[in-house]
Structure 1
Amino acid sequence: MDLVLFIGLQGSGKSSFFRERFAATHVHVSKDLWPNARKREARQRRLIAEALARGDSVVVDNTNPLVEDRAPLIAIGQERGARVVGYVFESDLETCLARNAGRVGRARVSDKAIHITYRKLRWPSYAEGFNALFHVRARPEGGFDVREWREGDESERVRRPDA
């Protein structure tokens, strides 16, 4: 049983990656599914805990930019005995803005929101409690390249946001 956390900007390919790799096997939890709900954080945590209690693997499809955003989710996974896995999405700002511009309706977020997430984004570390970490890059022709994440090589593998 896995708890999978996606980490990356809006428009970096997280939801497409979920559909391609996890839709048939994992429960999908995303705050985007209830944009007007009150207490979205509490709802997200409850849905994750309930799925893991049933023995279901879960994907948390949100930006999860900060250690503080990830910590309570990792704690839930650890408490339920799940393997905690992070997928870090290549987050080139200009590419994400361009992908977002092609979205329609509620799928499109404001450019300001992407810029805010970009400034906040901090890459994960195994020290946070992850059992495995991977780097994901969306291919221009479609599909994804996935590589194991190694501590200390963020600047080589991912365009690191300004710290």
Structure 2
Amino acid sequence: MKYLIQKKIDSYFNTKLEDHKKELAVMTEKAKYDISRKPFDFEAYAIKKHTIYPELYQLVFEVPRKMSVFSYLKEVTFSERIKEVEDAMDNLLDYFNKNELFLSKDVVSTYWVTWDLIMNLHGYFYIGEENRSFVLEEVSKIRKEIEILKEVMYEELSYSHFEETKEKV
């Protein structure tokens, strides 16, 4: 009787042990797959980010450059120039919207601050007042915000180049 009970207990634990081994094998395979996929995903993301950031920066930088000419324009060329500014703004917004998924939260929030400054100055052009110093001052604010955006982008791009970061590992 004791022998039968011992065999039954052994059988029960051996079955449990085999089931646990199977579960561990499945978990191990999932972990191996996940580990092998992560470097590929990171590399694809980093390449995309390295492509998007310079183009986004270029498009952001172009808008205040086009806006600054309003500080010395005559009425005749206003409609022609405002069209150039609006085209640049449309290109910027389209590019941002297409690629926002690949941007960090810091870049997105800095972009929106910059965009708000651009929109404020854009609205001023339609008021019709000619205040050269105001335009230059607002363009200067936009450029300062673009510098902040540039620093955020640079910092993020340098992480993937394995440069020294703020956080020590």
Larger CA Rg, structure 1 vs 2: 2
TM-score when normalising by structure 1: 0.25
TM-score when normalising by structure 2: 0.24
Structure number having the greater strand percentage: 1
Structure number having the greater helix percentage: 2
